Amino acid sequence: MKPNPKLSILPGFLFVFDIDYPHEGAVEELICLADVNDSSDLIRVFDAVLKPEFVGYSESDRCWIIDTISYYLERGETFVEVLEKRSFLFSDEIVDGRGFMRVLLECLSLYQAEIGKVKNF
């Protein structure tokens, strides 16, 4: 049975960008120097930092996260609650929570598709 979308799972998922997460110096610098409000910078950070973490999740957890973000984007969620619960390493504040989550969803969907292609070989 597929779990219902839960906004409460997202702050924990985004902990990898938190100031309290144990990062290597180069990763910390990458996050700090990225423009969190620029999609190309976000994609670069997501690919370097989040992708290795995400691909290690179970299939059901990956789908649950993707479904949750998609569900709340469709319903007009601003994600203020989610994003305010983290002390991100990004130098700037996230101006558009929906934009941030939209880029995140695109990346996660791409990672999920890549995993599916690898399984089919």
| Any domain includes 80 | yes
27 in Cβ contact with 48 (< 8 Å) = yes
Quote the tokens at residue 94.
Answer: 């996230």
Phi-psi region of 21 (alpha: psi -120 to 50; beta: other; left: phi over 0): beta
- The residue that leads in pLDDT, 83 or 117, is 83
21 in Cβ contact with 31 (< 8 Å) = no
| Any domain includes 1 | no
Q: Which domain holds residue 67?
A: 7-119
- Read off the pLDDT of each residue in 6-35 and give the average, rounded to a whole number: 94
Model confidence over 66-75: pLDDT tens digits? 999 999 999 9
Q: Burial of 24 by CB count in 10 Å (0-12 exposed, 13-18 middle, 19+ buried)?
A: exposed
49 in Cβ contact with 15 (< 8 Å) = no
| Any domain includes 62 | yes
pLDDT (0 to 100) of residue 119: 63
Model confidence over 77-112: pLDDT tens digits? 999 999 988 899 999 999 999 999 999 999 999 999
| Any domain includes 89 | yes
| Any domain includes 30 | yes
Contacts (Cβ under 8 Å, ≥6 apart) of 99: 37, 39
What sections of the chain are H helices per DSSP?
10-13, 25-33, 39-45, 51-54, 59-74, 80-84, 97-119
Domain total of the chain:
1
Quote the tokens at residue 90.
Answer: 């990004």
